[in-house]
């Protein structure tokens, strides 16, 4: 069993199969000096370079669960150095590495691929690193359970990828830190009876004699590595109209009628969020349902991932559909600088569930805030959600108390200033990264007042503050 599930009154955290496959151990660097200070997960990522594009060329064989990969990583060195590190599970075997076409030395152990080019990197140097690798991918065992590359439970067995926060190295070499966002090209060859869903737009589908079909997706991003997804199975593809961009969905054939009902209001959700927060930030959107039961859906950029248990024909999980869509403004386009600021992702997306409920004839945001505040008050535990600690970034209270923080802000500064703040947040940090301090500064600017007395107790004190009431 996956190690935890969140309570029902909040929604949308890490998504894992109910029955997880055997997993790799959580891996760290072989050189402790590589760990950057002040980050929750200093063993992931290398602050010495920035990736502009990942070009992944993969061949997957379902019968043996084997993956052959060529990853071309285009990057720029931010600092001079002898080499750099990429995150890649030790379950996968690296056979060759080159930098700018020249064979490079490398060492791969404990989840870190250390690359030493022929000539040292100088600050500002742009380079292309090519990594050839293969193996049988498995999810990584982390403090949050087994995440990353995993397998569906239906027949035939397919693949799902849900990487938040540390699972991306389970299937491709990457600079695995949320502040390093890049463009992606993902080309996957599978047997002709399988289909592929990945981030961005499907730009090519080509038959490969003797191998199957190559599906090529491209996404200009920019996108953090933990949001990259790959899903392989047997899907029906449909497109919903009425939103600002195409909404392209994929799901098992047997769920067609229930999916049409349960996900039928995605265009209305998108129009609402666009009216409230500004333009949808990417070129395409959609939901993919994999043939497995998942504890929770998961955000992946341009495609949200759901399990078959989220399709019941009664819109029982519609609040989760709203939650995952909202992440495209809050979490994907405006991304956190570091994982300690996770309330900016999850508190915002949870509040968007309340906004959709209010808009669609359900309970008002006032009522949902009061209900969640009461649940928090009944819970004897307390959490500083502005810096919850690395083991608690997906704690229930980050979601519900984060959403209550936003409702407290809304009732304090009024609707006009509140929604002006959210629109400015989505616009000024579009496709970038930001932290709590920047959000507070925006709220103060639009609210025309200092807000320390509001944000300090809600974010940085354990005691639960009273919920402000509308005047």
What would the 3-class secondary structure string for 239-293 be? EECCCCCCEEEEECHHHHHHHHHHCCCHHHHHHHHHHHHCCCCCCCECEEEECCC
Say if CB 331 and CB 348 are below 8 A apart: yes
Instruction: Look up residue 305 and give its DSSP letter.
Output: E
Alpha carbon of 83 to those of 86, 125, 127, 400: distances in Å? Answer: 10, 12, 11, 43
Residue 258 has pLDDT above 50, yes or no: yes
Closest CA to 255 of 198, 298, 293: 293
Confidence band, pLDDT 50/70/90 cuts, at residue 381: confident
CA diameter of the chain: 70
Alpha carbons 42 and 97: distance in angstroms, whole number: 24
Could you report the per-residue pLDDT of 87-116, keeping only the tens digit for each? 999 999 999 999 999 999 999 999 999 999
| Angle (deg, nearest 10), helices 415-428 and 266-277 | 100
Is the distance from CB of 11 to CB of 353 less than 8 angstroms?
yes
Q: Does 62 have pLDDT greater than 50?
A: yes
Inter-residue contact 104 to 97 (CB < 8 Å): yes
Is the per-residue pLDDT at 22 higher than 80? Answer: no
Closest CA to 65 of 96, 22, 95: 22
Detail the DSSP E strand segments found in 136-244. 140-142, 145-151, 159-162, 181-190, 195-198, 201-208, 212-224, 230-233, 236-240
Q: Mean pLDDT, to the nearest integer, of 199-210? A: 96
Rounded to an integer, the average pLDDT of 417-440 is 98
Q: Which residues contact 119 (CB under 8 A, 6 or more apart)?
A: none
Q: Would the pLDDT of 121 be above 80?
A: yes
Q: Identify the CA nearest to 150 among candidates 173, 167, 133, 134.
A: 167
Identify the pLDDT of residue 239. 97
> What would the two tokens of residue 247 be?
């909404």
Give the residue from 165, 166, 302 showing the smallest Cα distance to 221: 302
Radius of gyration of the chain (CA): 22
Which two tokens mark 427? 């616009």
pLDDT tens by residue, 304-350: 999 999 999 999 999 999 999 999 999 999 999 999 999 999 999 99
Ramachandran assignment for 148, one of left (phi > 0), alpha (psi -120 to 50 degrees), beta (any other)? left
Q: What is the pLDDT of residue 157?
A: 92
Confidence of residue 471 (pLDDT cuts 50, 70, 90): low
What is the per-residue DSSP string for 44-70? S--TTEEEEEEEEEEEEETTTTEEEEE
CB-based contact 139:171 (threshold 8 Å): no
Q: Round to whole Å and give the CA distance between 236 and 288.
A: 10
pTM above 0.75, yes or no: yes
Question: Could you give the 3-state DSSP secondary structure of residue 365?
Answer: helix
Q: Are 197 and 219 in contact (CB under 8 A)?
A: no
pLDDT given at position 466: 96
User: CA geometry: angle at 369 spanning 367 and 370, to 5°?
Assistant: 65
Tell me the C-alpha distance between 438 and 408, whole Å: 18
pLDDT grade for 16, boundaries at 50, 70 and 90: very low
Question: What's the N-to-C CA distance of the chain in angstroms?
Answer: 47
Which pair of tokens denotes residue 205? 């589908």
Confidence of residue 12 (pLDDT cuts 50, 70, 90): very low
Note the pLDDT of residue 31: 36
Exposed e or buried b for every residue in 444-457, given b needs 16+ CB within 10 A?
Answer: bebbeeebeebbeb
pLDDT at 154: 80
From the list 243, 403, 426, the residue with the least C-alpha distance to 329 is 426
Which tokens go with 276? Answer: 């409230």
Structure tokens at 418: 């509140």
Inform me whether the pLDDT recorded for 27 exceeds 80.
no
Average pLDDT rounded to a whole number, residues 115-137: 97
Span 238-266, average pLDDT:
97
Whether omega for the bond prior to residue 332 falls within 30 degrees of 0, making it cis, is: no
147 touches 86 (CB < 8 A): no
What is the mean predicted confidence (pLDDT) over 209-224? Answer: 96
Q: What percent of the chain has pLDDT above 70? A: 92
- Chain centroid to Cα 152, Å, comes to 19
The CB density around residue 82, as the number of other CB atoms within 10 Å, is 11
């Amino acid at each position: 069993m996956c190690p935890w599930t969140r309570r029902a009154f909040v929604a949308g955290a890490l998504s894992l199969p109910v029955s997880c496959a055997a997993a790799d151990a959580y891996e760290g660097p072989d050189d402790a000096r590589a760990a950057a200070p002040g980050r929750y997960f200093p063993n992931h990522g290398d602050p010495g370079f920035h990736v502009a594009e990942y070009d992944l060329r993969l061949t997957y064989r379902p019968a043996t669960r084997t993956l052959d990969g060529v990853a071309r990583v285009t990057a720029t060195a931010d600092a001079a150095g002898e080499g750099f590190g990429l995150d890649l599970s030790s379950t996968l075997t690296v056979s060759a590495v080159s930098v700018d076409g020249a064979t490079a030395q490398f060492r791969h152990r404990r989840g870190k691929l250390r690359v030493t080019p022929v000539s040292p990197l100088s600050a500002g140097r742009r380079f292309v690193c090519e990594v050839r690798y293969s193996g049988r991918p498995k999810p990584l065992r982390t403090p949050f359970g087994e995440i990353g590359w995993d397998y569906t439970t239906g027949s035939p067995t397919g693949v799902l990828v849900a990487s938040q926060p540390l699972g991306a190295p389970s299937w491709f070499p990457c600079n695995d830190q949320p502040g390093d966002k890049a463009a992606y090209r993902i080309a996957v060859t599978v047997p002709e009876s399988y289909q592929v869903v990945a981030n961005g737009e499907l730009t090519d589908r080509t038959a490969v004699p003797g191998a199957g079909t190559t599906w090529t997706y491209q996404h200009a991003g920019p996108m953090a590595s933990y949001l990259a997804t790959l899903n392989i199975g047997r899907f029906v593809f449909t497109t919903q109209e009425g939103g600002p961009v195409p909404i392209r969905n994929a799901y098992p054939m047997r769920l067609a009628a229930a999916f049409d009902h349960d996900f039928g209001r995605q265009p209305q959700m998108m129009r609402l969020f666009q009216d409230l927060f500004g333009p949808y930030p990417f070129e395409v959107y959609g939901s993919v349902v994999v043939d497995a039961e998942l504890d929770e859906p998961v955000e992946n950029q341009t495609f949200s991932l759901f399990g078959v248990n989220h399709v019941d024909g009664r819109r029982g999980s519609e609040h989760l559909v709203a939650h995952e869509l909202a992440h495209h403004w809050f979490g994907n386009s405006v991304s956190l600088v570091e994982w300690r600021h996770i309330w900016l992702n999850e508190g915002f997306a949870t509040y968007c569930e309340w906004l959709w409920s209010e808009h669609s004839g359900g309970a008002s945001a006032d009522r949902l805030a009061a209900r969640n505040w009461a649940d928090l008050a009944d819970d004897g535990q307390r959490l500083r959600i502005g810096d919850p600690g690395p083991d608690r970034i997906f704690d229930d209270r980050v979601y519900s108390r984060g959403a209550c923080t936003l409702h407290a802000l809304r009732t304090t500064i009024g609707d006009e200033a509140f929604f002006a703040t959210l629109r400015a947040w989505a616009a000024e940090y579009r496709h970038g990264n930001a932290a709590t301090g920047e959000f507070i500064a925006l709220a103060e600017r639009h609210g025309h007042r200092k807000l320390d007395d509001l944000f300090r107790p809600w974010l940085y004190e354990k005691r639960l503050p009273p919920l402000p009431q509308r005047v």
